[in-house]
Every structure is written in structure tokens, then in C-alpha cells.
Structure 1
Amino acid sequence: MLRKIIYLVAAVLVAVLLFRYCEFKKEDASSIDYNTNLIQQQIVNVAKLVVTEGHFSQVLTYKDQDKYLMNMISFDKKALIVVNANVTVAYDLRQVKYDIDEKNKTITILNIPKEEINISPDIQFYDVTQSKLNPFTGDDYNKINKSVRANLAKKMEKSALKANAQNRLISELSKILILTNTMGWKLQYNGKTIERENDLKTNLAL
């Protein structure tokens, strides 16, 4: 009789332990699913177009000269050109590629898109001087447009526009970093672990 009671108690203990173990595994799996879904939702929230805008102005003079009869006769054309341009630097974060490793609780950023630069100049011509033998043509306007865009690109490189855009990009990506740190996950890029926002600035190959 005592032996039967011992067997019965042992069976009950085993059943309780098995039940507790199954409940623990169930809670653990649910926790992983919850964390993964939360991280995916945060990445979706971050996925947007980050745009930094700038305005540039410049004034330049365009001159051209056609010469005839051994340079004895020339026909000139010139114009004063005023340029006002809007320049944008954008990152389309919808193109960010990532991998979620649930087992090791790691988010790996696989790809960060390059910046998209858009230059929209408004070109106005003043004091236009030309002759019938040397008028302004489509080639002149193409040359002017190409020159204007090249000058604006140089100005933009010397400005803080790209740096400001990168700072905004890092600010958006840091939202993922904050979430992973809070949940005890890791964020990696280029084989390196990102632990703080400064790591984003130094380790992300922008």
C-alpha cells in the first residue's frame, strides 16, 4: 500500500514537472514571436524617405564667339544667368535589407541604400545679346544647364547638406538600436556589433 502511494506521488510530481516544462516552452516561444513581431514593426515604422533640403543661388555670365575671315570678324553672344536651385539629399529606408536571427536574438543590417541627390535649378536669362549669325541654340542651353548642375554639385559637396542627411539617417536607424538594446537583442552591421549611436556613425559605411 505504501509503495502504491509512493508511485502515485511520484507520478503526480512527474506530471506537474512535465506540465510546467511545457508551459515554460510555450511562454518562451510566445516571447520570441512577440519580440520578433515588435522588432519587425519598428523596422516598418522606420522605413520611410528621409529628406534633407537645401537652397543655392548663383550668378554667372555665359559668352560665346564665332569668328570669320581669319578672326577679323566675330559675332558674339552672351547672357547674364541667375540660378536658384533646390537640392535634396534623400535616403529611402524602404530599401534597407535586414535579417532577424531569433535563436541568437540578433538583427543584422544587410544593406543601407545610397543617398539620392536631386538638383532642381531654376535658370533665368538676363541681358541676352546675340546675332542672327550666332544665336542661342539648344546646344548653348544644354551647356549652360550642365555647367550649372556641375557648379551646384560642387557647392553641395562643400556644404553641410550631406552631413545633415547622414545625421538624420543615423537618427532613424538608432530607433532600431534602442529597441534591440531594450529587449536584450543585438544589432550588427558589416560583421560588427552596434551598441550605441556613436557606433552607427563610425561603423556604418555611408
Structure 2
Amino acid sequence: MELLFLGSAVGAVISYFIFQKFSNDRRKNLTETQSVILLDKIKKVTKLITVEGEFAEIYHHEDKQNKLLGLISSKKKAIILINAKTHIGFDFRKIKMQADTKNKTIKLSNFPEPEVLSIEPTIRFYDIQDGLLNKFSSEDLTQVNQAAKEHVLQKIPESNLMQAANHEALEAIALMKNLIETIGWQLDYSSLELPNGNIQLLE
């Protein structure tokens, strides 16, 4: 009888530890699954951060070439109207995140600077003046298109697009924070260098 009782007790203890291990493994797997889902959702949020800007610029294009061994110079020029659409955003591949499953924390250690994702110029030529030996050709369109992109690129810092993109990034981090907290996790962004005065946006 005592042996039967002892065997039952040992069996109960073993069953308890097996149940505990199964429960712990299950909780661990659930936590790890949550971290993977969170990281994936954060990446999707960052992909949505883009700021669109439009530029209308007048660009004076001039090309001077020497002909006949430099004895004659021939110049062609045109006034070009550039209407360009630009997109400013972030390369989400540069974001550094780590999941601390033990403390249920997502650590955001690096958020990239905004960069120009695309420039889509529409070009119209006005007041085209061909040189006697230097006329506009189809190849000039490619060169002018590239010059137009570079011209717009130089104008972007003078606009407020980069500041707007930074503001969008802060709002995205706030969205990440709320998203993570809905399932009982925390977002640690203490190592990020946030623009001055914008900490309140995340609180």
C-alpha cells in the first residue's frame, strides 16, 4: 500500500514537472512568436513613411561646343520648365531592432536619416535656340533629364521635406509604441537621437 502511495506521489510530481515544462515551453514559443510578429509589423509601418513634394522650377540649359579645331564655337540653349514629384522616406533595412523576449521589450537602437527615394521630373522645352553647328538631338533629352533631377535634388534641402519626413518618423515611432503596448510589450527607444523638442510626441 505504501509502495502504491509512493508510486502515485512520484508520478504526480513527474506529471507536474512535465506540465510545467510544457507550459513554459508554450509560453516561450508564444512570446517568441509575438516578437517575430511585432518586428514584422514595425517594418511594415516604416515602409509607409513617405513624404511627397512637388517642385516647379525654371532651368536654363546651355551647351557650348568648339568646332573646326576650336576656330568656331557653337552654342545651343533652351529654357526648360521642370515639374517634378519627389518622395522622401526611409530605408527600413537600416533600422536596427532587437527583441528581448524575457522582458517583453523591443529595443529600437537605430533609425535612419530621411533620404530621397525618387525624383520624377516632367520636362518642357521653351525658347529652344540651336547653334549653327550644335543642334538639339534625342540624346540631349536624356542629359537634360539627368540635369533636371540633379537641379531638383539641390533644391530639396531648401524645402521643408526633410523636416516633414523626420516628423513623420516620430509619429511612426509613436505608432510602434502604441502597437507594441497593446499586447503587453514595451518599446525601448532610449538609445535613439531624437530631434530636440519632439520627445513629447512619443509620450
User: Do the two structures share a fold, i.e. TM-score over 0.5?
Assistant: yes
**What is the aligned partner in structure 1 of residue 117 from structure 2?**
117
On the 8 A contact 2:94/2:111 being kept in 1, the answer is yes
**Structure 1 residues 181-190 or 151-160, which shifts more?**
181-190
On the 8 A contact 1:98/1:108 being kept in 2, the answer is yes
**What is the aligned partner in structure 2 of residue 41 from structure 1?**
37
The CA RMSD measured in Å over matched residues stands at 4.3
**How far apart, CA to CA, are the structure 2 residues paired with 1:66 and 1:95?**
45
5+ residue gaps, structure 2, are none
**What is the aligned partner in structure 2 of residue 174 from structure 1?**
174
Aligned-partner SS, 2:38: helix
Aligned-partner SS, 1:126: strand
Give the 5 Å matches for 1:110-189.
Answer: 112=111, 115-136=115-136, 141=141, 144-183=144-183, 185-188=185-188
Q: What's the CA shift string for 1:71-120, capped at 9, x where partnerless?
A: 99764422111101010113343664433222233323355455452112
Q: What's the CA shift string for 1:182-203, capped at 9, x where partnerless?
A: 55544345857x9xx82898xx
Give the Å deviation of 1:126.
1.4
**How far apart, CA to CA, are the structure 2 residues paired with 1:23 and 1:68?**
91
Aligned pairs, how many? 189
Give the Å deviation of 1:122.
1.4
Decide whether aligned partners of structure 1 residues 15 and 65 sit closer, same or farther in structure 2, where only a CA change above 3 A counts.
closer
Aligned-partner SS, 2:90: strand
**Structure 1 residues 17-26 or 46-55, which shifts more?**
17-26
Greater Cα radius of gyration, structure 1 or 2: 1
Decide whether aligned partners of structure 1 residues 179 and 123 sit closer, same or farther in structure 2, where only a CA change above 3 A counts.
closer
Decide whether aligned partners of structure 1 residues 174 and 116 sit closer, same or farther in structure 2, where only a CA change above 3 A counts.
same
Amino acid at match of 1:40: V
Decide whether aligned partners of structure 1 residues 199 and 98 sit closer, same or farther in structure 2, where only a CA change above 3 A counts.
farther
TM-score (norm 1): 0.64
TM-score (norm 2): 0.65
**What is the aligned partner in structure 1 of residue 58 from structure 2?**
59
Decide whether aligned partners of structure 1 residues 116 and 75 sit closer, same or farther in structure 2, where only a CA change above 3 A counts.
closer
5+ residue gaps, structure 1, are 202-206
On the 8 A contact 1:57/1:85 being kept in 2, the answer is yes
On the 8 A contact 1:80/1:125 being kept in 2, the answer is yes
Decide whether aligned partners of structure 1 residues 74 and 105 sit closer, same or farther in structure 2, where only a CA change above 3 A counts.
closer
Amino acid at match of 1:55: E
Identical amino acids, percent of aligned pairs:
27
**Structure 1 residues 19-28 or 167-176, which shifts more?**
19-28
**What is the aligned partner in structure 2 of residue 204 from structure 1?**
none
Aligned-partner SS, 2:162: helix
**How far apart, CA to CA, are the structure 2 residues paired with 1:35 and 1:200?**
28
**How far apart, CA to CA, are the structure 1 residues paired with 2:201 and 2:28?**
26
Aligned-partner SS, 2:54: strand
